[in-house]
Amino acid sequence: MDLQALENQFKTLFGKTPEYAYFAPGRVNLIGDHTDYNGGLVFPCALSFGTYLLAAQRDDRHNAFRSLNFEYAGTTDATAFSNKPKEWIAYPLGVMKEFADLGHPVWGYDLLYYGNIPNGAGLSSSASIEMVTATMLNDLTGAGLTKVELAQLSQKAENQFVGMNCGIMDQFAVGMGKKDCAIALDCATLHYEYVPLVLDGYKLIIANTNKRRGLADSKYNERRSECEEAIKYISTQHNITHLCQLTEEEFEACASLIPDETIRRRARHAISENQRVIRAITALKAGDLTTFGQLMNDSHRSLKEDYEVTGIELDTLAGESQQFPGVLGSRMTGAGFGGCTVSLVQNGQAEAYIREVGKNYQAKTGLEATFYIAQIGEGAYKLY
């Protein structure tokens, strides 16, 4: 749906012309999952598709929410902050509460959201909704927050208002994305570096398992708690606050401090994944796509065996991809429990890859995968 069609929808729903328009992308993480809340490195990039927000001012202290993706529509005021809704509007409302707590006016808007990110696919549709709302409010209230501050504010909204104990990666990538670049982000310090994605002869192809990923209902928060438990054991002898402060060698030397094998495997994944990100960034900068692809495969294996966040759909899609000629690497991306894989596929094999992997995946799972050739875009911005 183009912008003109969205404007027409706005006029139909609200009987007026939108005054403002904003966009925030989705994101894909190339490597480094479940490292962000463990104080480690991630390597995401913003996508060309995302969430649009059209807005116009109202004459009262209410916000009217409409979406072309979700059936629920509502008009709210400040009481919504204490009567937290369970519908999609919890995401923008959480951001509004953060702005209100900073003393900025957040009421008096008609709001229309439209996203072309597959919902529940693990490509950060929730962070995209949060960041497009934060971008709008930052503009219209004159709050003057930086994009990094908007990302932190949106993460806080999802942690405290929505109740999803996510790390900073999604909001940061959605806000700070740069065309044709990935972001090497240290989640402990927020130090970041843009790394050009030079994929000579290859494409990044995202494959959606189309098994919906209910993050808040998943074991995401449980995994985070398990990592916190691992820190408690290790910190009896090592002064750490995050697992990714350890190297793999340091962890193996103290792994026996963790009595529970499951907790030990959770920690092993976080620490080894952090080291894989470091090696992957180095490989990409050197143009060594073969090593980069192998590290993607190793990452998926760790997420499957040590972190246990994949499942039959993701494992089937990644496995079929890894065996296909012209694929250097394939892995799940995002939190897991459904969602998407990302694969590095030779240009000349892209069409055959989509056809054959899709056919094999459907035969084994009964589900039809959806494929997207990734176009790397800009972070959140104002359209007009």
Residue ranges of the annotated binding site are 67, 120-126, 158, 220
Active site residue 298: no
CA distances from 26 to 35, 138, 258 (A): 19, 20, 37
Write down the catalytic residue from 170, 298, 306, 315.
170
Sheet containing strand 181-186, edge to edge, reads: 41-42, 181-186, 192-196
Neighbouring-strand partners of residue 196? 181
To the nearest 10 degrees (0 to 180), the angle between helices 261-285 and 220-234 is 100
Neighbours of 147 (CB within 10 A): 20
Report how far residue 336's alpha carbon sits from residue 192's, in angstroms, rounded to the nearest whole number: 24
Rg of the chain on CA atoms, in Å = 21
To the nearest 10 degrees (0 to 180), the angle between helices 169-176 and 147-157 is 150
Q: 228: buried, middle or exposed (CB in 10 Å: 19+, 13-18, 0-12)?
A: middle
Report how far residue 247's alpha carbon sits from residue 268's, in angstroms, rounded to the nearest whole number: 10
With b for 16 or more beta-carbon neighbours within 10 A and e for fewer, the 272-308 pattern comes to bbbbbbbbbbebbeeeebebbbbbbbbbbbbbbebbb
In this structure, which amino acid lies at residue 39?
A: G
Task: Provide the annotated active-site residues.
Answer: 170
